[in-house]
Structure 1
Amino acid sequence: MPIVDVRKLTNGSKLAEEVYTSLGGLLFTKGTPLYEKEIEFLDAFMIKQVSIEDTNVDVGESKEIHVEEKAAPKVTVNIIEKPSFQEHFNEAVTKLKNLMIRVQGGDNIPVMEVREVVSPILAQFQEKPQVLLSLRRYARMDSYAYEHAIAVGIISYMIAKWIKVPEKEWMQVALAGTLLDVGKAKIDRRILQKPGKLTPEEFEEMKKHTVYGYQIIKASHGLSEGVALAALQHHEREDGSGYPLGLLGNKLHLYSKIVAVADVYHAMCSDRVYQKAKSPYVVVEQLVQDSFGKLDPSVVHTFVDGITQFAVGTLVELSDGTIGKIVFTDKKHPTRPMVETGGHIVNLAESRHVSIVKVMEQ
């Protein structure tokens, strides 16, 4: 009954013992033949080794070796704790707010200073990309506009990487996301801060922020045409139903398509005056629906595949009130992962009556 590393398994190997998940749920029964799909499951559940039936299957000569361990000498280390993502995020929001106050006063965008705000938070994000599923936890209602700008910049940057935009453009895409609403600096404060629904006249005025943003960015040095067009076009839609020009998808700049997806995702995941935050999984399913006519389908599907790859190990609340942990995401059903709860596995791709309603703060 050889014990074999999962990564060394050969297709057709049969389990000599039952395999359980870390919480005690039965994953595979004794005698189950292991092929590519089953091996992928074992790897996803972070199971390193399994016992297989003693056949002629190549087991990579896996052996258990016992080595006498010697006590290591005690070493005193002074640990300097790194600032948390929350601290970096809050700092970026505060700095951006101060910079945008200058723009509201009539200054051009201080591009280098905005880059200096964005760069550290992007670097921090590379170490903790799973926050894409829980950006809501970093939100404060009183500074939503600036938090939204930072978040959309981060998300846009990641989408640019995932859809293979040339690396030299990644920062420009991040700036496009960060500055998407810069034109609101010219909108009447009473309209921007109105708690209720806007009148038709007020909404027409609000829509002008896209044109104002384009003008402000064009007047500032160090920003590409794509950044300006993202500000102008991020409310346009593939079927021509957006604003301000009602352009069809083939007339829209790639940056605007990226920023549009990032904008919708973060807005729907956030608590706002007129809307409660929705689960990231509910939002990405809505994005998939919107990819039929509203948002660029290739950008949406790349984003959904990208954001769900970080989900394994994330605690979630299901619509039936149970709490579980995501243990596997099937690329064919990225918004309907497998969740371990109460010692058993719920496959949301099959249990369509259950959904993820909340990503838990950890």
Structure 2
Amino acid sequence: MREIAIEELTLGMCLSKDIYNDLGNIILSQGTEIAEKHLDYFRKHGIFFVYIDEIDEAISRESHRITMGNKLQELNDAYGNVLSQFKALYFEIQNRHFDFDASVVKEDLIALTDTLISDNDILGSLRIITINENYHFTHAVNVAMLSAMICKWLTLDKEMIYMAALSGLFHDIGKTQVSQELLFKSERLREEEFEQLKMHSRFGYESLKNNPTIPKEVLAAILFHHERSDGSGYPSGLREEQTPYLARIVAVADVFDAITSDKIYKKSVSSFKAFTIIKDESFRGLDPKIAEVFLSNIAAYFVNNRVRLSDGREGEVVYINKYALNRPLIKVSNAFVDLSMDYSIEIEEVIS
């Protein structure tokens, strides 16, 4: 391991120490291979030196270099493999074949998870997924990815990371036993219809509880991922301390992906608006500690993103206020807009 100036870095070198931002969160992990976007980030944030592995630079560039194109292809391939496997299992379960072997998807899911957690920029990873598929399938894979990343940020071990990914993938599998007409209804559900839909968590648990290839921790996450800290959730009205930890992790991932994805009856909201929703929910429903870790780590990657404001102006996120994560400082032309001071303006959309 040796310290090296940013100017001497070449693409493909590997970090030998974690890099932290001023929020105290890891922004790049040990083992990350340097890409062009990382060099840009270092220059803009006054990071002048990093530690790299002491191996021959020519070998490093040849054997470890990952271009953005390769990263896109690798991630899309891994995502597509999991999606295909999950769809096949989804239809098996829909036809009430509950005795499948979950190991058929575990290998591909581990490969996707390992690709994902090598870079903390989960939103950037989700943005470069080019596969177009039904929301009910992509939501499952997205929640698997988000749940795995949350576990990494919580510094949990690899076993828990993989368990969370599997929990996220199967969390809504009970919807296979819900009326498809209800599931794909384009209007908002009536109260009695919503009560029927809420049965999906029980249906999922009941469908898989006798399958020996599904861990009990995953079954608990499937059953309880809609429980809320204040007891307002379902199916059992559990409070935070009663709800299994994996279920609380999946709950945060589920809510975030649901509100930032287009649905039949509702357009998605921006990641910044989702911040506000997650923050509000953490006061009454979602686990506040898990939500805070999730939001603070996500926030680090909004810096340098171009955004469109609610007044039509476009600008660049230049600073995240750790006391108001969803209301950053925006540079618009030659002026600065501090959203933590001006609540009349919102971020409507992340452009890039």
Within the candidate set 175, 183, 192, 1:192 is matched to 183
> Aligned partners of 1:48 and 1:305: how far apart in 2?
20
In structure 1, the partner of 2:29 is none
Distance 1:92 1:174 in 2: 11
**Match status 1:183 vs 2:178:** no
Select which of 84, 92, 99 maps to 1:102.
92
Moved more, 324-333 or 282-291: 324-333
The partner residue of 2:270 within 266, 269, 279 is: 279
| CA contact 1:317–1:359 (8 Å) conserved in 2 | yes
Matching residue of 2:44: 45
CA distance in 2, matches of 1:259, 1:210: 13
Gaps of 5+ in 2: 7-21, 24-40, 49-65
SS at match of 1:107: coil
Q: Secondary structure at the match of 2:280?
A: helix
Given that 1:257 and 1:295 are in contact with CA atoms closer than 8 Å, whether structure 2 keeps it comes out as yes
> How big is the shift at 1:131?
4.3
AA in 1 matched with 2:83: V
Alignment of 1:91-240 (within 5 A): 91-105=81-95, 106-132=97-123, 135=126, 138=129, 143-240=134-231
Q: Whose helix proportion is higher, 1 or 2?
A: 2
Matching of residue 298 in structure 1 with residue 285 in structure 2 = no
2:93 maps to amino acid = V
Q: Which runs of 4+ in 1 moved over 4 A?
A: 136-142
Q: Which amino acid aligns with 1:46?
A: H
Partner AA of 2:111 in structure 1 = P
**Partner SS state of residue 350, structure 1:** coil
Give CA-to-partner distance per residue, 1:238-262, whole Å, 9 cap, x none.
Answer: 1111111112222100111111111
Deviation per residue, 1:188-236 (Å, 9 max, x gap):
2222122223344433322221112112332222333221111111111
Q: Which deviates the most, 149-158 or 235-244?
A: 235-244
SS at match of 2:325: coil
1:320–1:103: structure 2 CA closer, same or farther, 3 Å change rule?
A: same
Structure with the greater alpha carbon radius of gyration: 1
Tell me whether 138-147 or 262-271 shows the greater mean CA deviation. 138-147
Letter of the 2:92 counterpart: R
More deviation in 225-234 or 330-339?
Answer: 330-339
Distance between the aligned counterparts of 1:115 and 1:199, measured in 2? 37
Aligned residue pairs, count: 296
Matches of 1:169 and 1:127, distance apart in 2 = 16
Residues 101 and 141 of structure 1, relative CA distance in 2, 3 Å threshold: same
Q: Distance in 1 between matches of 2:195 and 2:132?
A: 24
**Which amino acid is the alignment partner of residue 148 of structure 2?**
Y
Distance in 1 (CA, whole Å) between partners of 2:44 and 2:257 is 29
Change (3 A) 1:45 1:208: same
Is 1:109–1:217's contact at 8 Å kept on the other side of the alignment? no
Residue 232 (structure 2) aligned to one of 230, 237, 241: 241
TM-score by length of 2: 0.75
Amino acid across the alignment from 1:99: L
1:320 counterpart (283, 308, 311): 311
Q: Percent same amino acid at aligned positions?
A: 29
8 Å contact from structure 2 (residues 174, 201) kept in 1: yes
Aligned partner letter, 2:182? I
Q: Judge conservation of contact 1:133–1:307 (CA < 8 Å) in 2.
A: no
Unaligned runs of 5+ in 1: 7-35, 50-78
Instruction: Return the TM-score normalized by structure 1.
Output: 0.73
Counterpart code for 2:104:
E
8 Å CA contact 1:348, 1:355 repeated in 2: yes
Structure 1 residues 147-156 or 107-116, which shifts more?
107-116
